[in-house]
Amino acid sequence: MKFISWNIDSINAAVEHSSDRGQMTWATLENLAAAQPDVLAIQETKLKDSGLTKKHSAALTDLFPDYHIYTNSSTARKSYAGTMMISKEEPLSVDYPTIGAPGEMDQEGRIITLEFPTFYVSTVYTPNAGSKLDRLADRQAWDDAYRAYIDGLNAKKPVIFSGDFNIAHEEIDLKHPTTNHHSAGFTDEEREKFTLLLDNGYTDTFRATHPDQGDLYTWWAQRVKTSKVNNSGWRIDYYLVSDKIADKVTASTVVDTGARQDHAPIELEIDL
């Protein structure tokens, strides 16, 4: 089975593709559709709380005919955060959980989970700790609540879960670890929470299949024009799986998006 996950940074920008960046985003989405994944998980949809517009639905249905589309939009802030799942097979159930996260995080459409007969597929858009780490405490509370949620799923069936986790786990996962030690996404506190998650019975599929590979990232800052050219990136997007199915993973890769900065999609192949 093939799974793809991507922080798209606005479904509307992709569908409209009226700017150079929008055109690159749309081209990437077309390439992902051509790959015919079993499930495509998307983060940071930035949809209104009413969900997809007719234009959005028509464009996605044209790209993904006969797929099932599910969205979870923010009701707390307009056109903010949000997630989407596009599935070839209709799941047994779809969950848009609240996990007891602080503040408005539970109302920001950050998680969708699909249930299939022998496993769950979930996606997450993890909150950022903030440029001045002003939300670090809330981020840590989120991490604890999210870990408990995934553990609850894993107690029933194996879980395949992906998304923008907003964390570079180890020094190998970003270009400049020394100068970013106190930056959001690479603090000791956030890295320790990610270690706790893995230690609860989950495998980082990319690192398991590429144990020593550095310089392969999933995000390059848009505000720094040379970040992609210089490959000054971070690996903050992950496919994690329950340890009990980790031996079934056959590939875990990053999809090349050429000159487009921001997030690159990630792809998982697993024999299930």
Does residue 56 carry a catalytic annotation?
no
Which residue in 27, 69, 28, 21 sits closest to 47, CA to CA? 69
Residue 200 has pLDDT above 90, yes or no: yes
Q: Which pLDDT value is given to residue 77?
A: 93
- The region that residue 262 occupies, defined by phi over 0 for left and psi between -120 and 50 for alpha, beta otherwise, is left
Measure the CA–CA gap between 242 and 90, rounded to whole angstroms. 22
Is 30 assigned to a binding site? no
pLDDT digits over 67-117, tens only? 999 999 999 999 999 999 999 999 999 999 999 999 999 999 999 999 999
Is 7 assigned to a binding site? yes
Q: Cα dist. 118→151, 158, 186, 264 in Å?
A: 16, 7, 34, 29
Range(s) of the domain holding residue 25: 2-270
Is 180 assigned to a binding site? no
pLDDT digits over 19-69, tens only? 999 999 999 999 999 999 999 999 999 999 999 999 999 999 999 999 999
How many domains is the chain built from?
A: 1
- Of 17, 56, 169, 263, the active-site residue reads 263
pLDDT digits over 104-158, tens only? 999 999 999 999 999 999 999 999 999 899 999 999 999 999 999 999 999 999 9
Q: Which pLDDT value is given to residue 191?
A: 98
Secondary structure letter of residue 183 according to DSSP: S
What's the mean pLDDT in 200-229?
Answer: 96
What's the mean pLDDT in 227-237?
Answer: 96
Mapped onto helix, strand or coil, the DSSP state of residue 240 is: strand
- Of 164, 173, 204, 237, the active-site residue reads 164
- Of 80, 125, 202, 239, the active-site residue reads 125
Does residue 38 carry a catalytic annotation?
no
Is 44 assigned to a binding site? yes
Q: Which pLDDT value is given to residue 223?
A: 87
Query: Residue 227 — very low, low, confident or very high, per pLDDT cuts 50/70/90?
Result: very high
Q: Which pLDDT value is given to residue 75?
A: 97
CATH number at residue 107: 3.60.10.10
Is 128 assigned to a binding site? no
Q: Give yes or no for a contact between 24 and 30, defined as CB atoms under 8 angstroms apart.
A: no
Does residue 263 carry a catalytic annotation?
yes
Residue 235's Cβ-side half-sphere holds a number of Cα atoms within 13 Å equal to 24
Which residue in 159, 140, 141, 162 sits closest to 150, CA to CA? 159
